[in-house]
Amino acid sequence: MAKLVDKVLGFMGFEEEEVEIIEDEELVQEEESSFKKKKNGPIFSLHTQKQTKVVVCVPKVFEDCQYIADHLKNRRPVIINLEDADKELAKRVVDFISGTTYALSGNMQKVGNGIFLFVPSNMDIAGEINKEQDKEKGLFTWIR
């Protein structure tokens, strides 16, 4: 019965264990060298979030759309400034990049008058500009 109680107390951690004292220096040196030989595992950073760069483009010709689409394909958000572009070029650029964004399952948001934000599928756009106020100011009229 005493052995059973000793085993239960030992299992629970209440029994004192005897500690052996090693006096042989060779054994101590062997144990220390075995600890030094073990390699540490790989170290990983907990902050693995990659810094994202936003590409700002001011297209002057329609051929710049290919450059913009390549950024979206590479999962980079793009801001397109079409404030100074003529209406025909602006309409073609928005149509092309909107199609590219749709094909890549991304999102689009009008940020200001002639300024658009296009993001790939790995990003979301939070918040929206009140479209009713923009229609009253005439901000959507030029891209129809």
Judged against a pLDDT cut of 90, whether residue 128 lies above it is answered with no
Reported as a pLDDT band with limits 50, 70 and 90, residue 140 is very low
The pLDDT, as a whole number, for residue 52 is 80
Per DSSP, helices labelled H in the chain are 2-12, 25-37, 64-73, 87-103, 131-137
CATH number of 55-119: 3.30.110.150
Judged against a pLDDT cut of 60, whether residue 66 lies above it is answered with yes
Q: Residues near 106 by Cβ (< 8 Å), separated by ≥ 6? A: 72, 118, 119, 120, 121, 123
Judged against a pLDDT cut of 80, whether residue 10 lies above it is answered with no
User: Running DSSP on this structure, what letter comes out for residue 8?
Assistant: H
Tell me, what amino acid is at 35?
F
Cα(91)–Cα(44) distance, integer angstroms: 47
Each domain of the chain, given as residue ranges in start order, spans: 55-119
Judged against a pLDDT cut of 60, whether residue 142 lies above it is answered with no
Reported as a pLDDT band with limits 50, 70 and 90, residue 80 is very high
Judged against a pLDDT cut of 70, whether residue 20 lies above it is answered with no
Average pLDDT of the segment spanning 76-80: 93
Cα(62)–Cα(38) distance, integer angstroms: 61
Instruction: Determine phi and psi for 81, rounding to 5 degrees.
Output: -105, 110
Contact 143, 135 (CB under 8 A): no
According to DSSP, the β-strands at 107-112 and 55-57 are: unpaired
